[in-house]
Amino acid sequence: ILNVEQSPQSLHVQEGDSTNFTCSFPSSNFYALHWYRWETAKSPEALFVMTLNGDEKKKGRISATLNTKEGYSYLYIKGSQPEDSATYLCALRGNTGNQFYFGTGTSLTVIP
Amino acid sequence: DAMVIQNPRYQVTQFGKPVTLSCSQTLNHNVMYWYQQKSSQAPKLLFHYYDKDFNNEADTPDNFQSRRPNTSFCFLDIRSPGLGDAAMYLCATSRWGTNEKLFFGSGTQLSVL
């Protein structure tokens, strides 16, 4: 069992604001780091799969960075929109099997 | 079209009455996972299958069992549900591989009365 932590737990921002969240994990157990978006009443959906130190991924207004040496990843949302409101989960795939271990998520609410 | 399907969406059971949750997939993925999520907590991995190979997490209670009769279906059996087992249960699938992401069902919300 690997401990994955996310902060903040929840966030309220105004439409148009940019924001970011943090995911931290034990660097010695790293194999891959995933970000998922989970909207209410829907299934979690993958945003990014990151495997290399220094990886930067981008999808529209959302981007993510990865530091495997120090054990953290940042997710950035530029110019938040109400449709970005969701819970953002990160998951660590450890280096000993197929298991994925999730953080508690960051619940984002974008206020119009 | 839904690719990972969980039934039912909501399940109510009585304390101590066995209950089965089901998950099916049309993706032909060889890995299937069951997660339990309680309010404001991280989804907790209960177990996973790699093909027919069953992998139990060390802290998964014996009250939770799983079956995978074929590639497409996976079941979660709770033998004697307690009040503490009320939670959202998520099924996920993936192909085996470095860059493979998880595909989730919409979950089953279990209530125990």
Whether residue B107 is predicted with pLDDT greater than 70 in this model: the reply is yes
Under an 8 A CB cutoff, do A98 and B59 touch? no
Minimal Cβ distance to B104: which of A1, A41, A44: A44
pLDDT exceeds cutoff 90 at B14? yes
Q: Which residues of A touch B100 (CB under 8 A)?
A: 49
Residues of chain A with pLDDT under 50: none
Instruction: State residue B2's pLDDT score.
Output: 66
Rounded to whole angstroms, the Cα distance separating B24 from B2 reads 10
| CA nearest to A102, candidates A56, A34, A31 | A34
For residues B27-56, average pLDDT? 93
Element (DSSP H or E) covering residue A68: none
pLDDT at B9: 92
Are B102 and A100 inside 8 Å of each other by CB? yes
Contacts of A45 in chain B (CB under 8 A): 104
Averaged pLDDT score across all residues of chain B:
94
Q: Give the closest-approach CA distance of B109 to chain A in angstroms.
A: 11
Chain A residues with CB under 8 Å of B90 CB are 44
Going from the C-alpha of B23 to that of each of A57, B26, B34, the distances in angstroms are 31, 11, 9
Report the pLDDT value the prediction gives residue A2, as an integer from 0 to 100: 82
Q: What is the pLDDT of residue B26?
A: 95
What is the CB-side half-sphere exposure of residue B92 using CA atoms within 13 A?
A: 33
User: Which candidate in A35, A102, A104 is best for mutational testing of the B interface (most B CBs within 10 A)?
Assistant: A102
Residue B90 has pLDDT above 90, yes or no: yes
Helix (H, G, I), strand (E, B) or coil at A27: helix
Q: Is the pLDDT of residue B40 over 90?
A: no
Give pLDDT, residue B96. 84
Q: Which residues of A touch B43 (CB under 8 A)?
A: 89, 102
Q: What is the dihedral of CA A37, B29, A103, B9, to 10 degrees?
A: 70
pLDDT for the residue B98: 75
CA–CA separation, A35 vs A44, rounded Å?
10
Residue B1 has pLDDT above 70, yes or no: no
Q: What is the pLDDT of residues B52-70, one digit of tens each?
A: 999 999 899 999 999 999 9
Nearest to B50 among A4, A46, A98 (CB): A98
Average pLDDT over every residue of B6-27:
95
pLDDT computed for residue A94 by the predictor: 85
